[in-house]
Amino acid sequence: MIRWILRIIAVGYVLGLVALPVATVTRSTFAHGLQPVLDSLQNPDFIAAAKLSAIVAVLAVLINTVFGVGMAVLLVRYRFPGRRLLNALIDLPVAISPIVIGIALILVYGQNGWFGGWLESRGIQIIFATPAIVMATVIVALPLVVREVIPTLEEAGTDQDQAAQSLGANSVQRFWRITLPTIKWALAYGVVLSLARSLGEFGAVRVVSGSVPGVSQTLTLYVNDQYQEFGPVAEQAYMTAAFALMLSAVVFIIVIALLRPKENQQ
């Protein structure tokens, strides 16, 4: 009896909060058939926004992968003063509002910011341009790769690495032949998480991009800007873009679900 009540509450909560809204958005997207959806996919602003989002996400994931693997190796294999502080700092962006991250970037790299004037005198524009969008995205996804790789590295230990070293392997060889194969599934998992997070970032990008259609408008900004417009075309436009982002999120979840058992086997 109690088991049934608990089951109904749990399933009802998850369905009402997540599944039903997701289903409704799918239905509303295709409410007028397939043609309006296809039409809104042809919108040049949509195409430009999708391209910008893809470029930004790939760049941010590349940066965070290199940084994340390097940071994880340093934190697990080495002991140095300030190690715990560094470890805590990596998680900081998760506890901060994306709006605050955006404002913080403006204060440092904006026109009147700490470095903004110096950069501008050299013709480098960061805020209201792609570099700031990439930076904002890198910050919000910062801990994802590091946090996935660290536990795997800790469990693997350094035995194999030391064996390889005693056999004369240099550090580059040891990284490619020992470390990378060890962390490969955890890294893949972290990369997919970062990709999902990067593609979906909105708040921090909203502050630093300026959201000019076709220039600095990412896909999430496009959803927001079209939502603010009135009329059936704009409505179909934001629904289609939201549905496309939702579909990519579902693909990410499925990939994550497939990767998780492999990561645990390690």
Q: Restricting to residues 175-214, which ones interact with other proteins according to CB under 8 A?
A: 196, 199-203, 206-207
CB atoms closer than 10 angstroms to residue 34:
9
Whole-angstrom distance, CA of residue 152 vs CA of residue 148: 7
Measure the N-to-C terminal CA separation of the chain; round to a whole number of Å.
40
Report the Cα 230 to chain-centroid distance in Å.
30
Stretch that binds other proteins, among 36-44, 119-127, 154-162, 177-185 (CB under 8 A): 154-162
Count residues binding other proteins (CB under 8 A): 85
Stretch that binds other proteins, among 19-27, 41-49, 121-129, 181-189 (CB under 8 A): 19-27
Interaxial angle between packed helices 130-140 and 98-109, expressed in degrees from 0 to 180 and rounded to the nearest 10: 140
| Nearest residue (CB) to other proteins, 18 versus 233 | 18
Whole-angstrom distance, CA of residue 205 vs CA of residue 71: 25
| Nearest residue (CB) to other proteins, 48 versus 194 | 194
SS3 170: coil
| Nearest residue (CB) to other proteins, 17 versus 167 | 17
Stretch that binds other proteins, among 35-43, 121-129, 209-217, 234-242 (CB under 8 A): 234-242
Instruction: Indicate whether 36 belongs to the interface with other proteins (CB under 8 A).
Output: no
Residue numbers 83-122 binding other proteins by CB under 8 A: 86, 89-90, 92-101, 103-108, 113-114
Instruction: Indicate whether 37 belongs to the interface with other proteins (CB under 8 A).
Output: no
The type of residue at 133 is I
Q: Which of 41, 76, 129, 188 binds other proteins (CB under 8 A)?
A: 76
Q: Which of 38, 47, 163, 253 binds other proteins (CB under 8 A)?
A: 253
CB of 167 to other proteins, least distance (A): 18
At a CB cut-off of 8 Å and minimum separation 6, what does 26 contact? 243, 246
Cα-trace Rg, the chain: 22
Q: Which of 48, 56, 141, 223 binds other proteins (CB under 8 A)?
A: 223
Whole-angstrom distance, CA of residue 76 vs CA of residue 175: 14
Q: Which of 59, 156, 187, 191 binds other proteins (CB under 8 A)?
A: 156
Whole-angstrom distance, CA of residue 222 vs CA of residue 49: 7
